[in-house]
């Protein structure tokens, strides 16, 4: 079945450093790759996404890269701040009939940014 | 714009009791989903509804039932709660095509 692997499971960085989270997916039909941030006690929130016709997308300190050939995509956070501390999930879409899609989630990465 | 609203936010059940978790979205989304999240673990899909009138099983459907009441509402029912169903439950919705989900704030359920 479809699968998304996410690494690392935990990541600890100093404030101001960069953080990188990597994911691989198995379904070659996947064409949409969102990233979610989950703060303690809250639901996951979409922070950035990328579609398969784009190799890279950036939004301020956050960027996502996609390598369709290798079925890899990554989240890059630069100049990390304590408020970036959270659990991050990657996901890959799997098409369903009728034009609908289902997201397959990675297991999550707990990022801790230390002042 | 409320997005996805889940009720209740917290619930404690005794083993064997039943309850229904409610979810409503106001974004005119076609698809809705129920996930559970256990401590230190990721999101596991319980059931989903790709469109009004359809429901399908996800990874962990045993012990649950769902109802897509209308386009806005998607409920999750536990007929006979078990301690293994202690978890945080999230409802989500999405538009047609490859779009990200909007999640609710979750229901924290404890079964004793």
State the SS3 of A43-76.
CCEEEEEEECCCCEEEECCEEEEEECCCCEEEEE
pLDDT one-digit tens code per residue, B42-93: 899 999 998 899 999 998 999 999 999 999 999 999 999 999 999 999 999 9
Residue B39's pLDDT band, with cuts at 50, 70 and 90, is confident
- CB-CB contact of A104 with A32 (8 Å): no
**B74 backbone dihedrals φ, ψ, rounded to 5°:** -145, 110
pLDDT at B98 over 70: no
Do B56 and B3 form a contact (C-beta atoms < 8 A)? no
With a cut of 80, say whether residue A98 has pLDDT above it.
Answer: no
How far apart CA B71 and CA B24 sit, in angstroms, is: 9
A89 touches chain B (CB under 8 A): yes
Residue holding tokens 């979205």? B25
Mean pLDDT of chain B: 93
**How many Å apart are CA B41 and CA A5, to the nearest integer?**
13
User: For B97, phi and psi rounded to 5 degrees?
Assistant: 95, -175
User: pLDDT tens digits, residue range A28-44?
Assistant: 989 899 999 999 989 99
Q: What is the pLDDT of residue A101?
A: 79
Q: What residues of chain A, 2 to 41, have a C-beta less than 8 Å from chain B?
A: 31-32, 34, 36
Across the interface, do B98 and A107 touch by the CB < 8 Å criterion?
no
Q: How far is CA B100 from CA A11, B57, B85, in A?
A: 25, 20, 26
What pLDDT was estimated at residue A41? 87
Write the CA distances from B108 to A88, A111, B54, B93, integer angstroms: 20, 23, 26, 19
Contact predicate A55/A64, CB 8 Å? no
State how far the Cα of A108 lies from the Cα of A37, in Å rounded to an integer.
9
Judged by CB atoms closer than 8 Å, whether chains meet at A99 and B96 is answered as yes
- Min Cα separation A14/chain B (Å): 23
What pLDDT score was predicted for residue B100? 83
Which of A34, A36, A43 is most worth mutating to test chain B (most B CB atoms within 10 A of its CB)?
A43
CB contact under 8 A, A46 and B30: no
Query: Smallest Cβ distance to B100: which of A31, A49, A98?
Result: A49
Chain B residues closer than 8 Å to A97 by CB: 50
Instruction: Collect all residues of chain A within an 8 Å Cβ-Cβ radius of residue B98.
Output: 31-32, 51, 93, 95, 101
pLDDT at B1: 62
Measure B44 CA to nearest chain A CA, in Å.
Answer: 8
């Amino acid at each position: 079945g479809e699968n998304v692997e996410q690494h690392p499971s935990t990541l600890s960085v100093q404030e101001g450093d960069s953080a990188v989270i990597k994911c691989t997916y198995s379904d070659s039909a996947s064409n949409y790759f969102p990233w979610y941030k989950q703060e303690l006690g809250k639901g996951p929130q979409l922070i950035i996404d990328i579609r398969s016709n784009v190799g890279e997308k950036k939004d301020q300190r956050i960027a996502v890269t996609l390598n369709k050939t290798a079925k890899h995509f990554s989240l890059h956070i630069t100049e990390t701040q304590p408020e970036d501390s959270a659990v991050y999930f990657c996901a890959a879409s799997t098409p369903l009939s009728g034009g609908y899609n289902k997201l397959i989630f990675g297991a999550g990465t707990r990022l801790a940014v230390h002042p | 714009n409320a997005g996805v609203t889940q009720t209740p936010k917290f619930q404690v059940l005794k083993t064997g009791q039943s309850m229904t978790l409610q979810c409503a979205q106001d974004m005119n989304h076609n698809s809705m989903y129920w996930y559970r999240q256990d401590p230190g673990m990721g999101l596991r899909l319980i059931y989903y509804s790709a469109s009004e009138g359809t429901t399908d099983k996800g990874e962990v459907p045993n012990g649950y039932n769902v109802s897509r009441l209308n386009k806005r509402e998607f409920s999750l029912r536990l007929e006979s709660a078990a301690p293994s169903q202690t978890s945080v439950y999230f409802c989500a919705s999405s538009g047609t095509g490859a779009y990200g989900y909007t999640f609710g704030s979750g229901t924290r359920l404890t079964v004793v």
